[in-house]
Amino acid sequence: MRVVVFSNKKGGVGKTTSALATAAGLVKAGYKVLAIDMDGQGNFGASSGGEKNVKGTYDFLKGDSLEAVLQSNGVYDFIAGDKRLSNAESDFPRIGSEGLLRKALKKVDAYDFVIVDTPPSMGLLTLNALVVANDLIICAQSDAYSVAGCMELFGNVELVRENYNENLRIAGILLTRYSTQTNISKQMLPLYEQAAQVMGALVFKTKIRENIKLTESQVMNKPIYKYAPESNGAKDYEAFLNEYLEGMKKNG
């Protein structure tokens, strides 16, 4: 079972969109997928068609069984986040709280991939995700703030490797809402490539173009491959997933 985390310390960079598309894309490719929403805003669970006011990630971290918190949208299984996660820093025990997700997932073995969507901060919830992760995918847009967020996150990754998870791999930086027509996208690409080199990672060759169908698919609670299979959004995420899987097989 491989745990793949989508993260950046900056919000609005396509983490949830990328996690949604990847979860659905992996199922389309023949894998069995569990997705976990670690964000108190609960956007991943909502966009997956999740029920409200039911048990979710908070309860899973508290020790509830997978069966008690599991939902499915007919494509992938998922555990929904809710506003209670916003109190994680105070609600969970101080000692050992960084390993709650790892402990919970020890009881889970029926999946090929676990996709984790994280909040835009390096708090306890993101730390839990990185502690158990095999691969980290950093989502970013073409602006200086996203580059800074990437480098700050890399500093945290180094600390996680030293203290909790020496096998944590940065699979790459995924550029979202990308436009080949704007100067900012062209100007920022070398900066991301430099950042990736420092991290010992790469910038994925595939760039996710701005595409309204991606937003519409989330509003309609449908995976992009079902809502608009011929859209640029579906094509870009399919190309990204193929690139990620090839790199995963190459790196083990």
Q: Which residue carries 């079902």 as its tokens?
A: 226
Say if CB 3 and CB 33 are below 8 A apart. Answer: no
> What pLDDT, on the 0 to 100 scale, is given for residue 250?
81
Kind and range of the H or E run holding 136:
strand 135-140
74 has a pLDDT exceeding 70: yes
Q: Is the pLDDT of residue 50 over 80?
A: yes
* Mean predicted confidence (pLDDT) in 106-134: 94
Whether 188 contacts 149, CB under 8 Å? no
Section 56-82 average pLDDT: 96
Determine contact, residues 237/18, Cβ cutoff 8 Å.
yes
> What is the per-residue pLDDT for 181?
66
Lowest mean pLDDT among 66-80, 85-99, 182-196: 182-196
* Residue 63 burial (C-beta neighbours within 10 Å; 0-12, 13-18, 19+): exposed
Residue 136 pairs in a beta bridge with 5, 170
How far is it, in rounded angstroms, from Cα 40 to Cα 164?
24
150-194 confidence digits (pLDDT tens): 888 888 999 999 999 999 999 999 998 877 666 676 678 888 888
Segment 101-115 mean pLDDT: 95
Could you give the CA distance from residue 58 to residue 75 in angstroms, rounded to a whole number? 23
